[in-house]
Amino acid sequence: MKWWGLPAKIWMSCFILLPFLWLVLLSLQPTAASTSITTFDLHQFSRALTPPYSNIIIDSVAMSFLAALTVLAIAVPVTWSISRMPSKKKNLWLALFTIPLGLNFVVRIYAWFVLFRPEGIFSRALRGFGLDFAFVSSQFGVFVGLIYGYLPIMFLPLYSVFEKMERSQLEAAQDLGASTLQRWWHIIIPETRSGLFASFLFVFVPMLGEYLIPRMIGGGLVATLGTQIEGQFLGSGRPNWPFGAALSICLLVAAAAVLSSSFILLSRQKSEKSARWSIAHLD
Amino acid sequence: MSETLLSLQSISASMAGREILKSVSMEVRLGEFFSLLGPSGCGKTTLLRIIAGFLQPNQGKLLWCGSDATHLPPQRRDLNLVFQNYALFPHLNVFENVAFGLRMQKLPEDLVVSRVAEALSLVRMNQHARRRVTELSGGQQQRVALARAVAPRPKLVLLDEPLGALDLQLRKEMQWELKTLQRQLGMTFLYVTHDQEEAFAMSDRIAILNAGRLEQVASPEELYSRPASRFVAQFIGTANFIPAEKTSLDHARCLNSNHHFLLHETNAEVLPENYPINGDILVRPEQIILKKKQTEELKSLSGVIQMRQFLGATVRYHVELQGNHKRTLTIDQSSAGHEPIATGEHVSMLIINPSSSFFSESRLT
Amino acid sequence: MVNRTSRLKKIGILVWSILLLFILYCPVLFLVVFGFNASSYALRWEGFSLRWYEKTLENPEMLSALFNSIMVATVSTCFAVVIGFLYALWSHRQQNKKIAAAGDSLMSLPLFMPEIVIAIGLLVVVSQIFRPAASNIGIPLDSMGSIILGHTTLALGYAALVLRNRFKCYDLQQELAAIDLGATPRQVFFRVMLPQLVPGFAAASCLSFAVSLDDFYVSYFLSTGGSSLQTLPIYIWSLQGRRAMTPEINVVSSLLLFIAAFFFAAGLLLSRIDATGKQSGKDHL
């Protein structure tokens, strides 16, 4: 009985925790040639944190952040209205928005790439309307691609957040004279704040390490954290595993930084609110 | 006296260093409806699990029809449980749930069918045999759980607060049904509850458990009129304690009046034979007659009305006792032909029970 | 007045939803349609034909990729479901809630770590630790083996989650009731527990299979170490990189799309079925 949990824990330790630890050790090796763990120094990190790599990291974080925010903004109105539907209608709409999640990622990105290539049907149509965007081989194209690629991931977590929101609370607010905007600002967003953050992170973190989209849509012209990491391990040039490991540690640190800052933000808002409340009720 | 089915001999149990049962000894007789009554956390569920065989006592013995069954595994005990949350099997329908125990005994299929039909008709669920148990209401699930427990025809059925999840009306109905069923089957029922009314409504005998200790085992009537301890007196119904002194082995005198009481010889308290002993006399709310005070009567107890509640069949008064020992008494008067007495009025009280129980001051709770 | 604004809002949301669905589905639909193209070019429509389907289904490279994908998915699903089931059993019976919660968060790590980090981590430990260690004791750990290890890790995260949530609806009191009615531990396992977990098993298997079929990163990074091995997504990736794109890529994509989406949808549907075989509103994912 007691040992039943062991296989799973050993598996995760061997194939998640150990690799992570090994990457940390590897990132502390001084030269590209080092394949075994010998000495420790921070050379790889100092290289990662100076230009051009520091700029790539900042660009990647900024682009992923904006893209994840956009995905959130796109998905919120739809998911909210689905969560307020009668149950039969709700299931249908939810299914429609969930199915793309099961469509293969590589295929979806390739399909997108095909339509938005300069000779693709969509870009030709858009050019016909006088809208000439570089959807391919550009930073903007990668940005749009990230949004398209990760939009389906947002619906389910958001839905589970909104579903818990009680109708009576909103009706009470409406009854007290709150407009739609006021209801969102004073009730829905504060109540679902942590869920919104979680959904955001659910999209932001994988975006940060995205390799497929910048490689396919960016056509090798857009450098992101993901393409840099890939290049150090499998690139056509000389592989540099320690440096690649350092870059991926940077990726994890960036993700952790956004995660913890959101935690701090959440808890500060809460304590500020309670502080204001206690001051208001002092006398 | 009928034959003893189950006998517990100084059963003690502790969990994580905490004593849960302290040397509990009692007997359950064949064919009776026996209740285990106590406040939550008194150890009654632990005792039930020991009887069912899911737990082993740290000390003591459990005799089943006279032979030692302390370490017998649950599946080999001739008893079945009705669980508090029913614990029905959601993947099986009503029929298969009830048939489960019979199938475990590997009975032939035609016997299984007839026994299940019989058990289901006993609980009036035969028309629902093919339904899924998750589609049933709470009361119906309750009935299925009961049928499942009685279908293998065990000697003893253990019921762990089976009515706890039902609403009041349904609970009252089910109490009648359970009692009728038990009579019909002639099986022994051991019923665990914290609800005194429920235990009174159904039981032949009741065991009162408090903080792991057995306080008293007796019929409902005896528990009410001759409680063995202050705890039992207060736990069963409403108790008024009137200051008194015990003057001899079977006599007590009220301190504020000249009421004299004959004491029950069964009173369990062993006292040093050094009279008079200070303490309290137990008087139930309906054992006092209230009268408006006209003249100064030295002989009777006097008090002031603090509150009056009309309860339908009775009118309940809260009366503050006058004299050296101030305390509030609860007194019920039959509402038939009763002339209401206003709050603040002085009243005299006449105690009408001829014999009572005395509790010395040392055990004041 | 109020009515009109709320109706406008409703129409706005509806238009927005339809637009989103169009954007989400349209590219993929185009791809599927262009698999039936008669032309030799991937994206110049010259009439309906099954020519490329015939050609693709005879292509040994694509057949071996399909075989690899199914092989890897089957083996890693078996591993993930068995290990995940044992884990869920343990975690459900764990009295100490803190220890159980710690275990649960360990198991959900693959769901929250960026896939690329999991993939390169595996690449590093497989090539520097596990492969040398395995060859020392005489077992060659080839690409297939290491990809199976990786996919099992990814799938295990989902399988453990689904089975764990399924166990939460399984009342342990039932086992006491069964024992009380005379069941042996074997009978409790086969007649009480297992039948109630069948939908959970099916859901976990389907999702694990879909996760494995869907994976790009782990296969991509691990296939290059040792002998090269292509799964379907990797094969599509390599086709896309070639100069002349024939409709074959559309056909392979369509095939992968249908297989993976089928298992994904089945997994989702099954995870909504409760122990009695009825649809429950609750998601166990």
Flag the least confident range among A191-195, C18-22, C204-208, C254-258: A191-195
Choose among B217, B222, B224: nearest CA to B7: B217
Whether A22 contacts chain C with CB within 8 A: yes
Name the band, by pLDDT with cuts 50, 70 and 90, for residue C282.
very low
β-pair partners for B358: B281
C contact residues 105-144, partner A, Cβ 8 Å cutoff: 106-107, 109-110, 112-118, 120-125, 128-129
Buried b (16+ CB within 10 A) or exposed e, C106-125: bbbbbeebbbbbbbbbbbbb
Interface contact C261-A99, CB threshold 8 A: yes
CB C126 within 8 A of CB A32: no
Whether C196 contacts chain B with CB within 8 A: yes
* Residue B61 clears pLDDT 50, i.e. is over it: yes
Report the amino acid identity of residue C142.
D
Structure confidence at residue B40 (pLDDT): 85
Structure confidence at residue A283 (pLDDT): 38
CB B220 within 8 A of CB B50: no
Does residue C33 sit within a domain?
Answer: no
In sequence order, what E strands does A5-88 have?
Answer: none
Query: Which residue from C173, C180, C278 is facing B80, i.e. has the nearest CB?
Result: C180
User: Minimal Cα–Cα distance from A271 to chain C, Å?
Assistant: 26
Whether B83 contacts chain C with CB within 8 A: yes
* Residue C241 clears pLDDT 90, i.e. is over it: no
Q: Do chains B and A touch (3 or more CB pairs under 8 A)?
A: no
User: Minimal Cα–Cα distance from C92 to chain B, Å?
Assistant: 17
* Residue B206 clears pLDDT 90, i.e. is over it: yes
Give B58-78 as a DSSP string.
Answer: SEEEEEETTEE-TT--GGGSS
pLDDT tens sequence across B209-261: 998 889 999 999 988 888 888 889 888 888 888 888 887 777 787 777 777 77
Residues of B in contact with C181 (CB under 8 A): 75, 80, 100-101, 104, 148, 152
Structure confidence at residue B189 (pLDDT): 93
Q: Which one is predicted more confidently, C227 or A121?
A: A121
β-pair partners for B213: B210
Residues of C in contact with A101 (CB under 8 A): 264
Whether C224 contacts chain B with CB within 8 A: no
Whether A77 contacts chain C with CB within 8 A: yes
Residue of C nearest to A110 (CA): C240
**Domain, as residue range, for C67:** 59-270
* Residue C114 clears pLDDT 50, i.e. is over it: yes
B37-to-A19, A181, B12, B157 alpha-carbon distances in Å: 59, 57, 18, 16
Residues of C in contact with B116 (CB under 8 A): none
Whether A205 contacts chain C with CB within 8 A: yes
Flag the least confident range among A130-134, A147-151, C158-162, C272-276: C272-276
Whether C271 contacts chain B with CB within 8 A: no
User: Minimal Cα–Cα distance from B58 to chain C, Å?
Assistant: 21
Name the band, by pLDDT with cuts 50, 70 and 90, for residue C156.
very high
DSSP A15: I
Q: Which two tokens stand for residue C258?
A: 């249908």
CB A165 within 8 A of CB A184: no
β pairing state of B277-283 and B358-360: antiparallel
- In this prediction, residues A41-57 reach a mean pLDDT of 79
- In this prediction, residues A110-121 reach a mean pLDDT of 82
C95-to-A2, C43, C87, C100, C137 alpha-carbon distances in Å: 11, 60, 14, 8, 39
Whether B148 contacts chain C with CB within 8 A: yes
C contact residues 39-58, partner A, Cβ 8 Å cutoff: 42-43
Choose among B270, B268, B252: nearest CA to B260: B252
Does residue C224 sit within a domain?
Answer: yes
Query: Which residue from B91, B100, B152 is facing C195, i.e. has the nearest CB?
Result: B91
Taking domain B4-225, whether its CATH number is 3.40.50.150 is answered by no
Query: Which residue from A87, A151, A206 is facing C114, i.e. has the nearest CB?
Result: A206
C contact residues 42-71, partner B, Cβ 8 Å cutoff: none
* Residue C278 clears pLDDT 60, i.e. is over it: no
Residue of C nearest to A249 (CA): C117
Does residue C101 sit within a domain?
Answer: yes
pLDDT tens sequence across B345-361: 888 888 887 667 888 76
Interface contact A216-C240, CB threshold 8 A: yes
User: Minimal Cα–Cα distance from B73 to chain C, Å?
Assistant: 9
CB B142 within 8 A of CB B163: yes
Name the band, by pLDDT with cuts 50, 70 and 90, for residue A194.
confident
List chains adjacent to chain C, taking adjacency as at least 3 C-beta pairs closer than 8 Å: A, B
Query: Percent of chain A scored above 90 by pLDDT?
Result: 7
Structure confidence at residue B117 (pLDDT): 92
Choose among B182, B215, B181, B177: nearest CA to B196: B215
Residues of C in contact with B94 (CB under 8 A): none
Considering chain B, what is the average pLDDT of its residues? 85
**How many C-beta neighbours within 10 Å does residue B241 have?**
19
Name the band, by pLDDT with cuts 50, 70 and 90, for residue C227.
low
Taking domain B238-363, whether its CATH number is 2.40.50.100 is answered by yes
* Residue C62 clears pLDDT 80, i.e. is over it: yes
Name the band, by pLDDT with cuts 50, 70 and 90, for residue B365.
very low
Residue of C nearest to B154 (CA): C181
Choose among B331, B234, A102, A262: nearest CA to C28: A102
pLDDT tens sequence across B278-337: 888 888 888 888 888 766 655 677 888 898 888 888 899 999 888 777 788 888 888 888
List chains adjacent to chain A, taking adjacency as at least 3 C-beta pairs closer than 8 Å: C
Interface contact A229-C116, CB threshold 8 A: yes
Interface contact B75-C195, CB threshold 8 A: no
Residue of C nearest to A204 (CA): C114
Q: How many domains are contained in chain C?
A: 1
Does residue C50 sit within a domain?
Answer: no
Report the amino acid identity of residue B96.
E
pLDDT tens sequence across A3-45: 888 888 888 888 889 999 988 888 887 776 655 666 777 777 7
Does residue C237 sit within a domain?
Answer: yes
Query: Which residue from A22, A104, A208 is facing C214, i.e. has the nearest CB?
Result: A104
Interface contact C109-A106, CB threshold 8 A: no
Q: Rounded distance, CA B297 to CA B46, Å?
A: 54
Q: Which of A12, A90, A210, A236 to mutate to test the interface with C (most CBs of C within 10 A)?
A: A12
The Cα diameter of chain B in Å comes to 82
Interface contact B75-C180, CB threshold 8 A: yes
Residues of C in contact with A154 (CB under 8 A): none
Does residue C276 sit within a domain?
Answer: no
Reported as type and span, the H/E element at residue B29 is strand B18-29
Query: Percent of chain A scored above 70 by pLDDT?
Result: 91
In SS3 terms, chain C reads as: CHHHHHHHHHHHHHHHHHHHHHHHHHHHHHHHHHCCECCCCCCCCCCECCHHHHHHHHCHHHHHHHHHHHHHHHHHHHHHHHHHHHHHHHHHHCCCHHHHHHHHHHHCHHHHCCHHHHHHHHHHHHHHHHHHHHHHCCCCCCHHHHHHHHHHHHHHHHHHHHHHHHHHCCCCHHHHHHHHCCCCHHHHHHHHHHHHHHHHHHHHHHHHHHHHHHCCHHHHHHHCCCCCCCCHHHHHHHHHHCCCCCCHHHHHHHHHHHHHHHHHHHHHHHCCECCCCCECCCCCC
Choose among C99, C176, C156: nearest CA to A2: C99
Residue of A nearest to C27 (CA): A111
Residue with tokens 């929101």: A165
Residue of C nearest to A119 (CA): C43
Structure confidence at residue B338 (pLDDT): 80
Structure confidence at residue A280 (pLDDT): 47
The domain spans of chain B are: 4-225, 238-363
CATH number of the A61-222 domain: 1.10.3720.10
Tell whether the torsion through CA atoms of B57, B61, B64 and B68 is positive or negative.
Answer: positive
Residues of A in contact with C237 (CB under 8 A): 106, 212
- In this prediction, residues A200-207 reach a mean pLDDT of 89
Are both B4-225 and B238-363 of the same fold? no
Does residue C283 sit within a domain?
Answer: no
Interface contact A22-C260, CB threshold 8 A: no
Residue of C nearest to B156 (CA): C180
* Residue A154 clears pLDDT 70, i.e. is over it: yes
Name the band, by pLDDT with cuts 50, 70 and 90, for residue B26.
very high
Interface contact B83-C176, CB threshold 8 A: yes
> Helices (H) and strands (E) in chain A — how many of each?
14, 0
Reported as type and span, the H/E element at residue B174 is helix B168-185
Whether C260 contacts chain A with CB within 8 A: yes
* Residue B364 clears pLDDT 50, i.e. is over it: no
Structure confidence at residue C95 (pLDDT): 80
Q: Rounded distance, CA A118 to CA A124, Å?
A: 7
**C130 half-sphere exposure, CB direction, 13 A CA radius:** 22
Structure confidence at residue C284 (pLDDT): 43
- In the sheet with B328-334, reading across from the earlier edge strand, the strands are B288-292, B346-351, B301-310, B314-321, B328-334
Query: Which residue from C124, C210, C217 is facing A102, i.e. has the nearest CB?
Result: C210
* Residue A171 clears pLDDT 90, i.e. is over it: no
Flag the least confident range among A112-116, B112-116, B118-122, C38-42: C38-42
